[in-house]
Amino acid sequence: MDKEFVKKHFVERFGCEGVAYASPGRINLIGEHTDYNGGFVFPGAVDKGMIMVIKPNGLDKVRAFAIDIDPKDEAPYVEFGLNEEDKPAEAWACYVFGVCREMQKRGVEVKGFDTAFAGDVPLGAGMSSSAALESVFAFALNEIYGEGKIDKFELARVGQSTEHNYTGCNCGIMDQFASVFGKAGCLMRLDCRSMEFEYFPFEPKGYRLVLVNTNVKHKLGDEYNQRRRSCEHVVEVLKPNYPGIETLRDVTWEMLEEAKALVPEVDYRRAKYVLGEKDRVLAVCDALEKGDYETVGAKMYETHWGMSKDYEVSCVELDFLAEVAKECGVTGCRVMGGGFGGCTINLVKDELYDNFVETAKAKFTAEFGHAPLVYDVVIGDGSRKLD
């Protein structure tokens, strides 16, 4: 991320200087599609994200410039008011507008401002560029207009509520949490029910974390929300006999077997994946404390094929990369993020790194006609002011 690049565009657009803020994207070592089911996740912030420059403008509207937006796709410059009826048409601007509205709902008197922003989170790679965008605006508006009165957890909820209420995605809390709370050199285990979390130092000696980006993002309709509804349906069916359960976090394997005859087979398989993933996150935490990276890697592969076969959020390109990783002796590999494209995250021994990257690029290009992109993962800090 280049602060000076964004500042230059801000000055050119608005004729004055502003203040810079940053929020990162994230990786998630394990624990996918568990956050909205009350389970555990294990994310970390990365050294790629969003940088935003902002300055109050004394007007009753926001003037926003998305530096990275191609004018052929959407208008990169948008002006909008701060009332509910002022929601902009451009998809990217709905994130900024939604954060403004959610901060207002929490008692922050957001007023008009000028802003420009850009990011280096690869779009569609499963590293949550949207959460980085939401978090950087929530953090900045809290400082500028809220005197810092909104705590970090609530800033993460601002981003989540923006997705729910203004972009139509009924997401969990993990992405925004990781973006706000990230800490260099650490992953975080978050209990998405209690919101308790713990930092885990993550500097594995002899291994590297590597993302391999398929550069594929299959067009989604309502697939994410459909899977959430499947999970909620299993809970609804079980609730009459087990009134204490709230999410799949509370469902045991024995309860799930009872539900098998009462729900569509697809709902059963999706719930089965979530219960397995809940167990895998805790197993990985135990393994990390012992320095047992072989177990960590085995659980990553289990997650990948669970997401592919049971939760059905993988695709042929991601499955292909998982198979190549196994052939190359990679310790662990899985699809990262919501699925349907994006990256695999790989735990690779240092001595196997060069061969794996070379082989993955060559075989993927031969199979699909374009090369994947490779990113080494650097665990970075969360939302912050840069100036």
> Is domain 3-201+380-385 given the CATH code 3.30.230.10 in the classification?
yes
Closest CA to 345 of 359, 331, 355, 358: 331
- Confidence label for 222 from pLDDT (cuts 50, 70 and 90): confident
Entry pTM: 0.86
Rounded Cα gap, residues 362 and 372, in angstroms: 9
Strands 113-119 and 61-66: parallel
The neighbour count for residue 263, using CB atoms within 10 Å, is 19
Segment 36-92, tens digit of pLDDT? 899 999 999 999 999 999 999 999 999 999 999 999 999 999 999 999 999 999 999
CA torsion 92→177→23→97, rounded to 10°?
A: 30
pLDDT mean across residues, the chain: 94
Instruction: Measure Cα distances from 40 to 31, 35, 163, 195, 299 in Å.
Output: 6, 6, 20, 9, 14
Burial 115-142 (b: 16+ CB within 10 A, else e): bbbbbbbbebbbbbbbbbbbbbbbbbbb
Confidence of residue 1 (pLDDT cuts 50, 70, 90): low
pLDDT at 124: 63
Catalytic residues: 175
What's residue 98's pLDDT?
A: 98
Q: How far is it, in rounded angstroms, from Cα 313 to Cα 302?
A: 14
At residue 121, the 3 state secondary structure works out as coil
* pLDDT digits 0-9 by tens, 148-167: 999 999 999 999 999 999 99
pLDDT tens across 243-265, in order?
Answer: 999 999 999 999 999 999 999 99
Tell me what pLDDT residue 280 has.
95
Residue 201 has pLDDT above 90, yes or no: no
Tens digits of per-residue pLDDT, 365-386? 999 999 999 999 889 999 999 9
With contact defined as beta carbons under 8 Å apart, do 296 and 284 qualify? Answer: yes
DSSP 8-state code for residue 166: I
DSSP letter string, 357-383: HHHHHHHHHHHHSSPPEEEE--B---S
pLDDT digits (tens, 9 = 90+) for 271-330: 999 999 999 999 999 999 899 999 999 999 999 999 999 999 999 999 999 999 999 999
- pLDDT reading at 219 higher than 70: no
DSSP designation for 183: B
The matching CATH number, chosen from 3.30.70.890, 3.30.2420.10, 3.40.50.720, 3.30.160.250, for 207-376 is 3.30.70.890
- Distance between CA atoms of residues 65 and 118, nearest Å: 9
* pLDDT of 16 over the 70 cut: yes
Residue 217 has pLDDT above 80, yes or no: no
| 249 neighbors 38 (Cβ within 8 angstroms) | yes
Any residues with CB less than 8 A from the CB of 326 and at least 6 apart, and which? 301, 333
Element housing 324 (H / E): helix 316-327
| Cα gap 169→166, rounded to integer Å | 8
Structure tokens at 90: 């451009």
What pLDDT is recorded for position 138?
Answer: 98
Cα Rg of the chain (Å, integer): 21
How does residue 216 score in pLDDT terms, banded at 50, 70 and 90?
confident
Tokens of 144: 């500028």
Query: How much is the pLDDT for 127?
Result: 74
pLDDT tens column, 164-190 = 999 988 888 889 999 999 999 999 999
> Pairing relation of β-strands 341-349 and 207-217?
antiparallel
Q: Where are the domains of the chain?
A: 3-201+380-385, 207-376
**Per-residue model confidence as pLDDT tens digits over 62-75:** 999 999 999 999 99
pLDDT of residue 236: 97
Is residue 105 exposed (0-12), middle (13-18) or buried (19+ Cβ within 10 Å)?
exposed
